Structure 1
Amino acid sequence: MDRTSLLQIEKSFIRGTWDITISTSDSPAVQLARKVIGGEFRNALTSPEAHKLIHVQTAEFNGPLGESFNFSVSSDGDLAEQELLRLSLAVAFLHAFIQANWTGPALDFEPLDVITADKSEASLSEDFIKRKAVAELAYGGEPAYHLAAVPVFLRLSQLLLGHPYQHLQTVQWWRLRASLVHQQVLDEPVADSDLLSASLEPLESIFSSEPDLLGRLCLERGRLDHIHSQDKSAAEYFVKAARATGLEYELTGALGKRTKFQQTELSQLVLLAESKLNNDPATPHSTGPPTQNDGPSRAAEERQRPTITALPETLPLNDDTLLEQTEFTSSHPTSADSRLSHVSPKNQPPLHPIDQCIFLSLCLNVKNTSPSHGLTSEQMSPYVARVISHPRNWSVHTMALLLRSRLESSRTRTVERSTLQLQALIDQMPTSDSTLSERLHYFHSVPLPSKWELEKELAIKFVSLGVVKSALEIFERLEMWEEVVKCWGSMERPERGIAIVRDLLEGRKSEADVVLSRGKATAEARRQVQDTSRAAKLWCLLGDLEQEKAVEHYERAWSISKETSGRAMRSLGGHYFARGKYPETIACLRRAVRINPLLARSWFILGCACMRAEDWEGARDAFSRCVAIDEDDGESWSNLASMYLRLGTGARENGGQDKDDGSMTYGGESSKSISFANKMLAFRALKQGLRYSYENWRMWYNYMVVAMDVGELNEACRALGRVVEETSGKVGAESVDEDVLDRLVDAVTRASPNEGDDANSDTPPNPNEGRWLFKSVNNLFERVLLPRISSPRVFRAFARLLMWQNKWEEAIKAHLDAYRNGVAGTMEKGEINVERWREAVHEVEEIVDLLKNFGPRAEGYRWKLQARSIVRTFTGRTRDFEDEPEWERLEVLQDELRKEDE
């Protein structure tokens, strides 16, 4: 088989449609590939070609499944064709598994129809093969869902794809797809090999001239990062996919109405979009209309395209107030300079299904990178509405309706449709209202949940609505025992949950796979096949319920799993941490993160335990992993910065005591021993963390002090403003770090006001001093401090800034404000505190000296009158202190001021 034809077939596999330009061939491998792409999995997997490759090595099945089959190709014959045959079977197994658990309808064949030609063999049973496959699908200490249909198909697909391929170029892409499916079968996502990501890079260059394939590749690569909570990287891939397909889109506003009784047109959020790919969903590989150069083969393909089949039902809202969808009254967006100004919000063109998948993926990323407030749903709704408005494909439309259901679940007027729509999506799975090939067409480009995940989501929605009994029935049918226990707990009957778990562990209550195996004449050794990951999870669940025996149960789970249960070590570590046993916590959680390093919560608790044990390096490493997994975790960024500041200090300082929120306030003499490099690392960590914890004043305070230490005075100025904004309402003037404020003013005033005005100056602008810092400091005073704070020191600092600008009258007024808010200005008649009065006398002398020195510089300012008034008023209020020696100084001061007028 020539390389060109082979690549054409590979592209057809990826697209899910057979390219009729491929030359006809009697090759069994080509014919098998065509059957698989057409969704004829039974014919493909039971064909003579399949039986030659998938034959059982041993009748006993005692070892792993990989040792029970021989998938190797023979040395004689065309090696490329044999590899194509193996890939075709791997895709058939994978898609048959997806059909059984995601898209429906039900399969018309069973695993034994494929695995052995003689289904009546007594040595094999469907249940035994299923339990063995479920046990092997457990990965990284996380169990696979034990009620998944035909799990052996997914396992066989993995085994087939795991063999080396020398002639095919897209095998790694199929490994990515199999991995995405496998992650959805596990309880928690588990990190894949870095090789998986790296080996996908060459495919981007191979398909650089194929917009639809490059778009799919970027989408699916982004989905992997999305599953692993790498939202930033996922977003970059989703945007890259849009760039690859040429998708033009813009989130803007247009005049419209949202309710039936709305009279005034308001600006409504709308997503304008236009596809560059061909909009015919039956030809996703087309990038434009047919041309004369396409020849008769392309024309024949145009005539053979199937019509669009039935799509999932879109339930109406039927609300007495809200419209079914926003009714746009303007044919143009409100932004005049919009790139898509030619697209009417009222009548937008249909989008290509791949572009619809991109929008749904971008919508998921908005959900992950935004806080939980109304803006999130407002941002997501236009994306979903744009996809729902033009249904193009069964799987894509199902995903769009599911996202809309999630968005509407929190609103009173839409919660009913939300629940009914979710139920309708579950009910449609087993139907045959659309072809299997259409359901699989874009399956890998959207994060469509499995059947059991959809039902679980419906049950959780029932719980939120208070219909716990209905939710309990669903969870029990799905055998999701952790959720069952939570339901009994919410009904204030936790003992029922404990009884269920104990019955499962002790054999008094059977799960579905055990029930199926009863009465079957299988060997004793075969009946002993157990999914140890699931058994370990049950022991962990029992440990959660019986805290007095928690350690015993968690250790039993660890032992049963042969030290592979990450859940057991996470639970045990959390148990020790809650009781202040930090060395034990560290030991347990280090085992847990070795098994599954993707769970940020485990790293966070490990970091906190190391912090309590004063293992600063261990804590630094743990919090570094936290922020690598979840970049939005502001608390971990704060703790990471604290660890950088701890390294090298050698001991805990009073200025750095732990706060309730896990942050540590920076300060103390030990800060002098911290290296500049560590301070810069702390500064950068805090700067990143504040993007996600904008209202955390402790982080802002630490950021301010570290910024001062590393010379980033402009950032310190911004941080001081945020601290005052967040805390001045509670503590008033104490919210201002006056030492920092004075240093900021010093940094401005030490330079000449005209420094840098020379355009030919070789001195580069420095935002941390002189006139370049002045704007920030002046804004700090005028916008933040002066409207909120009445502190003498703040007013004096502001006066110095005004003097630097030669604004003498304004500076004098600022000094007078400082005087009025100081001891002398606030002293009332009848004061008896002599020390306080003496301090006030000193302040009177200071303000009079200031008026003498700077009053003459303020043109037309009557400083003498002001000075006499200050002294006269003060002496009038404090005549009770006439016997004190300092009183004579006041009298001398009055005499001097009188002489000034003579």
Structure 2
Amino acid sequence: MTEDPWVTLVSAQDLPTLRKMLGDLPNEQLLQIAEKAFSEVICANFAGGSVSSPPPSFLSTDFAVSELKFDLIEPYLNVRALPLLLIAKIAVLDQNRLTDTSPRARLLAFRILLLWQKILREPCAILKDLMDKYAQRIELDELENEERMQYFLEKANALLGYYEYEKCSDYIQRALEISGLNLELAGKMGKRTRFQPRDIAQLVLNVISLADGDVKTVSLSPIQLAVMLAIFRLEWRSEHCDELFMEKADAYLEAIIRQRRCWSVQAAALLARCELERTRNRRVERACAQSELICKLMDGVDDETPDAVKMMRTDLVLASGLEPFWNAHVIHAETLRSLGCTAEALLIYEKLQMWDCVIDCFKQLGQLEKAEALIRKLLLERPDDSMLYCYLGDITMQTSYYDKAIEISGDHNARARKSFGFLMLLRNQFDSAYEHLRRSLELQPIQLGVWFNAGYCAWKLEHYADAVTCYHRCVSFEPEHFEAWNNLSAAYIKLGQKDRARKILQEALKFNYEHPKVWENYLLLCVDTAQFEQAIKAFHRLLDLNKQQKDDEVLEIIARNVLRICDEADDEQSTADAATLKADLVKLFGRVSAVQSLSSKAWKAYASLKRPKDGNVEEAEKYIQLLERALLADSNKPNWSKDVELCCSVLSSAIELATERLRVGSVKGGDAVKQAKSRVRMSLKPLITIAKKECGGQDPQSSDEKVVKVKELLEEADRLLLEASQ
């Protein structure tokens, strides 16, 4: 009877001996050992299983951490069965003969790398390069459809961890095509819970199998459910989390959870729902109870399920994106904090040794001195741990602790530089802050908040090109970060690239459609770049958000330019486009004037759009009404006659109104002429009297342009009054 090779491995006394033993094994046995070790790590950290294959005695967790870390990017401290992952890594990744000859080994190598990344505290660029390398060597033609779908989903989840959303979407789409599913969101009336007294409108997900002649599928396979979960997860990470998204999330997750086909997919969907619902008052208690239950199952607490059955739970763990047990505990702890149970969450974080979260809890409880005492106690045990000095700096806000962390780590601690930079930013020392943040990004480029703050510092230092670079990286990591989009647009404006800035703001509005300040900036950029159709739409949206939105100067500029476009139109198409643009602007003016008062300039701009080009009397009457409102807007202001500029505006409006009234009266003929002259006399005479009383006494020899203008307007008004009196 052949001896189990694992028994031989356990006798190894050091790493070179272990490597030699693994190197001497036949390929098939080596692959079996790697698969066994890999499966046990998955089972222990995701499914609550116990380790049935102990590692060699020399292979402690601390030793495995030292072998699996990248500088200061270390595995999470409490990873279970970590030595087994090291064995799998040595067997597959360090043995080129296996991956050179076995397609199965190449696929396993990719999965080992993905699991390795999941247990690290931060994303690692080196692992990403290795995953890409092995992914290129995987022969898809040799995989069955389900295996291919599983690999595509695993690859998508790997890319999601590195914020590569477009590539992630491509892999999910490839998996969806193989699955033969068509997913459609639809509205229907129904009850969300059994306690709901009546049906309400809700969003549901219709899943249609293309293979079954477009018949609605009742039961889906686990891999099909994993595809649906991947689609949801991508949208969650790349879209703005508003009410519409929450409705879509409910539809996707309910459709997955209702099926109950696969433990890992079910657990991943439940955890995702718990994370979403922890901020929703009506559902937070359910989220707390369900996340606690999943944590117990992952820890093997109150779970008498045999290990063989628990091993079956590992199917599709990486494809479903299921979080390891410590992240499940974090979701539970955050849900407890949402319920106000901060002390209970604190106990969970202490058990997980997540000291930054522990500090946050102490801050929330107003017991920061306890956090400081805890970190100082840990420093006595681990005086060379640079991260502990970072935590102490966060608590005390003293730069000396960050300096110490930088010194101990040999300036390889990205967290120390980041925290130092944030502290300098709080103190408005932008130059120093920018220096520290840039160094942090050199050490660890995958940091969303650091890129954003570095961009802000660059903006303050007037390094606008650097700010553009930072904000571009920021939005590539989190497309829904509309503040970064907005700031990126502002940086482009400073660089004189207004058209590009406008397009950037268009992207920002996709992720936050309700932000009035962004819409206002977008409106101004549209006007600056002569995109008047978009400017009109933006103004409508601002009115939707705030009915009292006032910007008469913008309305006047748009009106002036639209009239110019109409005058310059020289062919049938441009004339039609100009007419459509003018009609849209007239609708906007009508909407604005219905909900708020306009300035005289705005009324004149509105009137200019309605000025008749032919002898249409009805249109002329509307034009006169708008001119009357323009005159009233100025003449109703107290003491208008004492302000030379305002006096000019009143007289100019009165003259334009009188001229149009006399013109329309002459067109109508008969009594209309008398009525027009009478109305001109009634409106002009008191205005002329007041204007002469206040402004007419000015020195007639004055060279002031405004005084001269008033004199000319009074002469023109007198002429019209004389004409109306005849």
Q: Helix, strand or coil for the counterpart of 1:166?
A: helix
Q: Helix, strand or coil for the counterpart of 1:273?
A: strand
Q: Helix, strand or coil for the counterpart of 2:510?
A: coil
Q: Contact between 1:395 and 1:448, CA under 8 Å: does it hold in 2?
A: yes
The equivalences for 1:310-389 within 5 A come to 342-343=215-216, 349-389=218-258
Structure 2 residue identity aligned to 1:596: Q
| Structure 2 counterpart of 1:418, from 270, 283, 287 | 287
Unaligned runs of at least 5 residues, structure 1: 1-25, 29-42, 75-80, 113-118, 278-287, 289-338, 511-529, 648-673, 758-764
The equivalences for 1:201-220 within 5 A come to 203=138, 205-206=140-141, 210-220=144-154
Task: Indicate whether 1:543 and 2:393 are aligned.
Answer: yes
2:90 maps to: 159
1:619 maps to: 467
1:816 maps to: 625
1:284 maps to: none
Q: Distance in 1 between matches of 2:133 and 2:567?
A: 54
The equivalences for 1:420-459 within 5 A come to 420-429=289-298, 430=300, 431=303, 433=305, 435-459=309-333
Task: Indicate whether 1:94 and 2:38 are aligned.
Answer: yes
User: What TM-score, normalized by structure 2, do the two folds share?
Assistant: 0.85
Q: Deviations for 1:843-889, whole angstroms, at most 9, x for unmatched residues?
A: 21122223345666789995763453143134247755566487776
1:184 maps to: 118
Q: Distance in 2 between matches of 1:706 and 1:473?
A: 51
1:406 maps to: 275
Q: Deviations for 1:241-286, whole angstroms, at most 9, x for unmatched residues?
A: 2222111222212333345576654443222214578xxxxxxxxx
Q: Distance in 1 between matches of 2:609 and 2:552?
A: 21
Structure 2 residue identity aligned to 1:69: R
Residues 401, 699 of structure 1: alpha-carbon distance in 2 compared, 3 angstrom cutoff: closer
Q: Contact between 2:265 and 2:316, CA under 8 Å: does it hold in 1?
A: yes
Structure 1 residue 893, shift from structure 2 partner: 2.2
1:756 maps to: 572
Q: Helix, strand or coil for the counterpart of 1:440?
A: coil
Q: Contact between 1:55 and 1:70, CA under 8 Å: does it hold in 2?
A: no
Structure 1 residue identity aligned to 2:626: D
Task: Indicate whether 1:223 and 2:157 are aligned.
Answer: yes
Structure 1 residue identity aligned to 2:259: H
Structure 2 residue identity aligned to 1:377: M
Q: Contact between 1:733 and 1:789, CA under 8 Å: does it hold in 2?
A: no
Structure 2 residue identity aligned to 1:850: E
1:243 maps to: 177
Q: Helix, strand or coil for the counterpart of 1:239?
A: helix
Q: Distance in 2 between matches of 1:722 and 1:626?
A: 27
Q: Helix, strand or coil for the counterpart of 1:69?
A: helix
The equivalences for 1:253-264 within 5 A come to 253-258=187-192, 260=194
Structure 2 residue identity aligned to 1:433: T
Q: Helix, strand or coil for the counterpart of 1:631?
A: coil
Q: Helix, strand or coil for the counterpart of 2:224?
A: helix
Structure 2 residue identity aligned to 1:268: Q
Structure 1 residue 133, shift from structure 2 partner: 1.6
| Structure 2 counterpart of 1:604, from 426, 449, 452 | 452
Structure 1 residue 824, shift from structure 2 partner: 7.3
1:476 maps to: 350
Q: Distance in 1 between matches of 2:295 and 2:669?
A: 83
Q: Helix, strand or coil for the counterpart of 2:183?
A: strand
Structure 1 residue 171, shift from structure 2 partner: 4.5
Structure 1 residue identity aligned to 2:501: A
Q: Contact between 1:728 and 1:735, CA under 8 Å: does it hold in 2?
A: no
Structure 1 residue 703, shift from structure 2 partner: 3.5
Q: Deviations for 1:300-338, whole angstroms, at most 9, x for unmatched residues?
A: xxxxxxxxxxxxxxxxxxxxxxxxxxxxxxxxxxxxxxx
Q: Helix, strand or coil for the counterpart of 1:178?
A: helix
User: What TM-score, normalized by structure 1, do the two folds share?
Assistant: 0.70
Q: Contact between 1:225 and 1:231, CA under 8 Å: does it hold in 2?
A: yes
Residues 450, 871 of structure 1: alpha-carbon distance in 2 compared, 3 angstrom cutoff: same
Task: Indicate whether 1:688 and 2:688 are aligned.
Answer: no
1:504 maps to: 378
Q: Helix, strand or coil for the counterpart of 2:572?
A: coil
Q: Distance in 2 between matches of 1:719 and 1:860?
A: 47
The equivalences for 1:818-897 within 5 A come to 818-822=627-631, 826-827=635-636, 833=642, 835=644, 836-837=646-647, 839-853=649-663, 862=672, 865-866=675-676, 868-876=678-686, 879-880=689-690, 884=696, 890=717, 892-897=719-724
Q: Which one is further off, 699-708 or 385-394?
A: 699-708
Q: Contact between 2:110 and 2:134, CA under 8 Å: does it hold in 1?
A: no
Structure 1 residue identity aligned to 2:128: S
Q: Distance in 2 between matches of 1:152 and 1:860?
A: 105
Structure 1 residue 751, shift from structure 2 partner: 1.6
Q: Helix, strand or coil for the counterpart of 2:322?
A: coil
Structure 1 residue 539, shift from structure 2 partner: 1.2
2:19 maps to: 69
Task: Indicate whether 1:781 and 2:589 are aligned.
Answer: yes
Q: Contact between 1:254 and 1:269, CA under 8 Å: does it hold in 2?
A: yes
Name the Cα RMSD after superposition: 3.7
2:701 maps to: none
Q: Distance in 1 between matches of 2:339 and 2:519?
A: 40
Q: Helix, strand or coil for the counterpart of 1:822?
A: helix
Q: Distance in 1 between matches of 2:5 and 2:590?
A: 77
Q: Helix, strand or coil for the counterpart of 1:146?
A: coil
Q: Deviations for 1:442-496, whole angstroms, at most 9, x for unmatched residues?
A: 1121121222222232222222222233222222222222222222222222111
Q: Distance in 1 between matches of 2:639 and 2:330?
A: 75
Q: Percent identity?
A: 23
Q: Distance in 1 between matches of 2:654 and 2:533?
A: 35
Residues 131, 198 of structure 1: alpha-carbon distance in 2 compared, 3 angstrom cutoff: closer
2:362 maps to: 488
Q: Distance in 2 between matches of 1:773 and 1:472?
A: 60
Q: Distance in 2 between matches of 1:735 and 1:804?
A: 23
1:791 maps to: 599
Residues 141, 170 of structure 1: alpha-carbon distance in 2 compared, 3 angstrom cutoff: same
Task: Indicate whether 1:744 and 2:562 are aligned.
Answer: yes
Number of aligned residue pairs: give it: 698
Higher relative contact order (CA 8 A, sep 6+): 1
Q: Contact between 2:489 and 2:500, CA under 8 Å: does it hold in 1?
A: yes
Residues 642, 877 of structure 1: alpha-carbon distance in 2 compared, 3 angstrom cutoff: closer
Unaligned runs of at least 5 residues, structure 2: 698-710
| Structure 2 counterpart of 1:270, from 192, 199, 204 | 204
Task: Indicate whether 1:169 and 2:38 are aligned.
Answer: no
Residues 775, 566 of structure 1: alpha-carbon distance in 2 compared, 3 angstrom cutoff: farther
Q: Distance in 1 between matches of 2:407 and 2:625?
A: 76
Q: Deviations for 1:602-654, whole angstroms, at most 9, x for unmatched residues?
A: 1111111122222222222212211222222222223223333333xxxxxxx
Q: Contact between 2:505 and 2:518, CA under 8 Å: does it hold in 1?
A: yes
Structure 1 residue 44, shift from structure 2 partner: 6.5
Residues 826, 202 of structure 1: alpha-carbon distance in 2 compared, 3 angstrom cutoff: farther
Q: Contact between 2:604 and 2:627, CA under 8 Å: does it hold in 1?
A: yes
Structure 1 residue 66, shift from structure 2 partner: 7.9
Q: Which one is further off, 156-165 or 552-561?
A: 156-165
Q: Deviations for 1:708-755, whole angstroms, at most 9, x for unmatched residues?
A: 45443433333344456556626x345735324422332234325xx4
Q: Distance in 1 between matches of 2:100 and 2:637?
A: 94
Q: Distance in 1 between matches of 2:402 and 2:463?
A: 26
Structure 1 residue 544, shift from structure 2 partner: 0.2
Structure 2 residue identity aligned to 1:566: A
Residues 834, 696 of structure 1: alpha-carbon distance in 2 compared, 3 angstrom cutoff: closer
1:573 maps to: 421
Q: Distance in 2 between matches of 1:564 and 1:66?
A: 29
| Structure holding more helix per residue | 2
Task: Indicate whether 1:144 and 2:79 are aligned.
Answer: no
Q: Distance in 1 between matches of 2:516 and 2:283?
A: 38
